[in-house]
Amino acid sequence: MLQKQFKFSNEAGTDEAGRGCLAGPVTAAAIILPDSFSSDMLNDSKLLTEKRRNLLRPILELNAICFGMAHVTPDEIDKINILNASILAMHKALGQLKKDPKLIIVDGNKFKPFKNISFECIIKGDSKYMSIAAASVLAKTYRDDYMEKLHEKYPMYNWKQNKGYPTKEHRAAIKKYGITEFHRKSFKQLPDE
């Protein structure tokens, strides 16, 4: 069962999606939920079906005190590395919040200070706290939408299905067609033969 808060009301949860992908952006979301919010459906986005995530997104957006979402491009990922790009995406999402939180709770174990707001890194936070789980759902659904749009431009990689992750099918397409401007050049696109 997800807990409402880590410490305070007015806490922002933040999480990212797409860290391990070969193509597409890393996407982060940040959200502040009201104390009154509850949902039996909400969980870590990785444990939810696509249908459930898509049902949850409008509920979260409607009920949130505020939320933000941001993409960091493959070019930027290649320049600053995936960890820094993930943190940058979270900072950009936090920067969109219409209200400064008392505390930022972050899924994972690495973060950099944002403004002068205290933060706490929580490993597997997306399966422990509502606001991080909510951020994980928003990040995942917005990134999935983005990859489905890119799929129309490059259908041979089947991004609408694999979302840019290193599936056998995605790697076979890279081997056959090469890489696009949406692939991360700093990532190992194909395993050693």
DSSP-derived secondary structure letter, 17? E
- The two structure tokens encoding residue 10: 């007015």
- 12 phi and psi, to 5 degrees? -100, 130
- pTM for this predicted structure: 0.96
pLDDT tens string 2-60 = 888 888 889 999 999 999 999 999 999 999 999 999 999 999 899 999 999 999 999 99
Q: Distance (Å, rounded) from C-alpha 122 to C-alpha 134? A: 15
pLDDT tens string 76-91 = 999 999 999 999 999 9
pLDDT tens string 129-144 = 999 999 999 999 999 9
Q: Distance (Å, rounded) from C-alpha 133 to C-alpha 138? A: 9
Q: Where are the beta strands (DSSP E) in the chain?
A: 11-17, 26-32, 66-72, 103-107, 118-122
pLDDT tens string 144-186 = 999 999 999 999 999 999 999 999 999 999 999 999 999 999 9
Closest C-alpha to 89, from 56, 61, 114, 124: 114
104: which strand partners?
12, 119
| Direct distance between the N- and C-terminal alpha carbons of the chain, in angstroms, rounded to an integer | 45
Residue 92 confidence (pLDDT): 98
Q: Distance (Å, rounded) from C-alpha 94 to C-alpha 74? A: 20
> How does residue 193 score in pLDDT terms, banded at 50, 70 and 90?
low
> How does residue 191 score in pLDDT terms, banded at 50, 70 and 90?
confident
Q: Where are the beta strands (DSSP E) in 90-166?
A: 103-107, 118-122
Closest C-alpha to 15, from 112, 134, 136: 136
> How does residue 1 score in pLDDT terms, banded at 50, 70 and 90?
confident
